[in-house]
């Protein structure tokens, strides 16, 4: 029997969605006889027990920590202690901002296999094989971990589905070792809205990306968005450059196009961080001059061509 240890993620008293997705990933990896143990680290971790009591979870380990919120050193030492106590063969964490802060440190100090941004896990001839993207997601890369007893995998968000149904797993408490962190968490700050647009509520979005080339092109696409009745959004480089306010950025660190039904991406290459905010939309149309752009991998319709020419022609129809 071997143990799959899942590290749940919480922030401001709420479980993050990735926590449940990791349970789904554990379900897809588990073999007969394996046990799935999920650990939740928080000042008062018991509150998360009901939400984690999903089908396939054999045990929930509550780990009380000094800090209310994520701290890289406290997390690393607690997970290290959990790994020593439970000897898991697989440890699953999210490929998330919190995990960016400690997973690689954990891997460096523990003698374990390590793969990040993993979106598929298989066992081939008994060996664990993790698949991730390479060269800007244009190829898939299979990695393995020869000779490792434990493998730590950081799993990509929005890939695995949470398990259906609930259960009554065993619940146990684990005492995290006392750790003095060299970081002090201060406060959370909501990013100031740049304007009053709410991308999460928009049902029809026209997004512009790096492919539009220069700030001077923004008014043209704003006019197009107005003409077709879409909300104008953008990918990260456009917001970082200040061409559009941050509130219009769709993606992992921006907004999720939660209510969107039609999404037209013009000159957006489709970085994984952007896809995280829109790939669920039922009708995505991608317009890009690069036929190899990753955005075509999630789009329903694709137009390989010049975004300015398409925009100009499209304008004639409205």
Partner 1 sequence: MKIMVAVKQVAALDEDFKIRADGRDVVDEYLIRDLNEWDDFSLEEAVKIKEATGDPVEVIAVTVGPEDADDSLRKCLAKGADRALRVWDDLIEGSDPIAIARILAAVARREAPDMLFAGVQSSDHSFAATGIATAAFLDWPHAAVVSLLNYVPGAKTATLRRELEGGLLHEVEVCCPAVLTIQLGINTPRYASLRSIKQAAAKAIESLSLSDLKLSAADVGEAGSRSRVRRMYVPDKGRAELIEGDVGVQAKRLAEIIKEYKGQAA
Judged by CB, which is closer to partner 1: 48, or 102?
102
22 to each of 70, 102, 145, 155, 283, how far by Cα in Å?
A: 18, 17, 20, 7, 27
| Cβ at position 59, least distance to partner 1 in Å | 27
Judged by CB, which is closer to partner 1: 11, or 47?
11
Judged by CB, which is closer to partner 1: 42, or 103?
103
Residue 255 is classified by DSSP as: B
Q: How far apart (Å, rounded) are the C-alpha atoms in residues 318 and 310?
A: 13
Q: How far apart (Å, rounded) are the C-alpha atoms in residues 135 and 146?
A: 24
Going by their DSSP bridges, the two strands 14-15 and 139-144 should be labelled as unpaired
| Cβ at position 162, least distance to partner 1 in Å | 17
Judged by CB, which is closer to partner 1: 57, or 284?
284
| Cβ at position 289, least distance to partner 1 in Å | 11
Judged by CB, which is closer to partner 1: 62, or 252?
252
Judged by CB, which is closer to partner 1: 51, or 228?
228
Q: Which of 50, 142, 130 is nearest to 93 (CA)?
A: 130
Contact call for residues 12 and 188 (beta carbons, < 8 A): yes
Tell me the two tokens of residue 58: 């054999």
Three-state SS annotation for 31-78? CCCCEEEEEEEECCHHHHHHHHCECCCCEEEEEECCCCCCCHHHHHHH
| Cβ at position 193, least distance to partner 1 in Å | 9
| Cβ at position 192, least distance to partner 1 in Å | 9
Contact call for residues 268 and 211 (beta carbons, < 8 A): yes
| Cβ at position 77, least distance to partner 1 in Å | 12
């Amino acid at each position: 029997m071997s143990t799959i240890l899942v590290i749940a993620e919480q922030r401001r008293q709420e479980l993050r969605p990735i926590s449940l997705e990791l349970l789904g990933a554990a379900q897809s990896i588990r073999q007969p006889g394996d046990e799935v143990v999920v650990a939740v680290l928080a000042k008062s971790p018991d509150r998360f027990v009901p939400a984690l009591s999903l089908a396939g979870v054999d045990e929930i380990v509550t780990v009380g920590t000094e800090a209310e919120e994520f701290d890289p050193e406290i997390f690393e030492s607690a997970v290290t202690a959990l790994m020593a106590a439970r000897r898991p063969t697989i440890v699953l964490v999210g490929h998330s901002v919190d995990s960016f802060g400690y997973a690689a440190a954990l891997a460096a100090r523990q003698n374990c296999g390590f793969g990040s941004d993993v979106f598929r896990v298989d066992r081939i001839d008994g060996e664990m094989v993790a698949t991730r993207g390479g060269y800007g997601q244009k190829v898939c890369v299979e990695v393995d971990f020869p000779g490792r007893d434990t493998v730590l995998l950081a799993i990509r968000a929005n890939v695995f589905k949470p398990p259906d149904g609930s259960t009554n797993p065993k619940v146990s408490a684990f005492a995290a070792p006392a750790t003095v962190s060299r970081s002090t968490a201060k406060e959370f700050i909501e990013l100031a809205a740049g304007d009053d647009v709410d991308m999460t509520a928009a049902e029809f979005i026209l997004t512009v990306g790096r492919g539009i080339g220069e700030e001077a092109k923004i008014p043209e696409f704003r006019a197009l968005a107005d003409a077709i009745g879409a909300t104008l959004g953008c990918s990260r480089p456009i917001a970082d450059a200040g061409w559009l306010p941050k509130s219009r950025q769709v993606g992992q660190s921006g907004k999720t196009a939660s209510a969107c039904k039609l999404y037209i991406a013009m000159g957006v290459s489709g970085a994984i961080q952007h896809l995280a905010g829109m790939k669920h939309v039922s009708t995505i149309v991608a317009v890009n001059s690069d036929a190899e752009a990753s955005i075509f991998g999630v789009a329903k319709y694709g137009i390989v061509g010049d975004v300015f020419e398409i925009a100009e022609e499209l304008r004639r129809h409205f």
